[in-house]
Amino acid sequence: MNADLDLACHLNVVVPNVRLDALPAALGVIAETGYRRVVLPPLNPDEIDGGRLGATIAAAGLSPITIAVQGPGADVSSNDRDERARGLESLRRCVEMTRELGGDQMNGVPYGPFGKYVSPPTFDERKWSAEGVGLAADYAHELGIMMTFEVLNRYETAMVNTAQQAIDFVQLSGSQHLRIHLDTFHMGVEESSVDEAIRTALPYLGFLELGQSGRGPLESGVLDIPDIVRQALNDGYRGRWGVEAFSRDGLDPEVADALGIWRTTFDDARTLAGRAQHTVWRGWSASAIGHQAARLKRKSDMSLSTADRFTQRKE
């Protein structure tokens, strides 16, 4: 892709997990199709060799983006003070794992349990969550890592479902360093306008992920991904981008179940990754900066052509 965009691809597009025997080939697919970064699935810092995994990713010419989560007994939104402390500690360890892997970005769902809630969180739960995540973001910043939190749809959380809620969460956190992660798939469920949601989050937007309505190829679904890219660029977004797609056959069964991926949405990861690049490029080329780049290239080509003709006349 000719567009100068900082684009990441989720590892689960290619392989279901980070098993080191299959990882080099999977990373090769992501790197060879033009991505700069790889988004890793959630990892337990106690169960991985961070140095070895980081070296494997670096050898492919990629930079890792990690995903932080919370779980039972370690949850910054809990009513229990000790559980909140354990949740914050788990985020701290994930930040340090990100540094060990050689990454400078940590995404994820750091604000509470993943899954459908039975009732909305209370104000106190939101406040505890935001303050804990804010502390983790400040610690990440000290280590040179940007921390974002993903805005999910109502079936995966009740803590943060919209761009405006995300802005409120950042402000409640008290952190100057916490950033927002928007995903077009989730925005398609929750927002009245994807473009307006991106404009709302823009002051704090650190990662814009592109996912289609059916979780498969970006070019096939109800979301107009090229137009979303075009409009986001025209509105001034200059941060990092991600590509995400899930197919049941390409995931561990428990992950597919948790995400509700019941179908085989694609069966050729290399083709999907390459076509996603082209889909993003279509949006970039239609944007104002894409048009400007094309004009500069034409001008440069004309100058080179004029120089060639002048050289030929001299000869």
Does 1 score more than 60 pLDDT? no
Does 307 score more than 80 pLDDT? no
Under 8 Å between Cβ of 110 and 91: yes
pLDDT level of residue 308 (50, 70, 90 thresholds): low
Q: Specify the pLDDT at position 298.
A: 83
Q: Specify the pLDDT at position 309.
A: 58
Average pLDDT of the residues in 229-251 = 98
Average pLDDT of the residues in 231-251 = 98
pTM given for the model: 0.94
Q: Specify the pLDDT at position 301.
A: 75
Each residue's pLDDT tens digit, 248-280 = 999 999 999 999 999 999 999 999 999 999 999
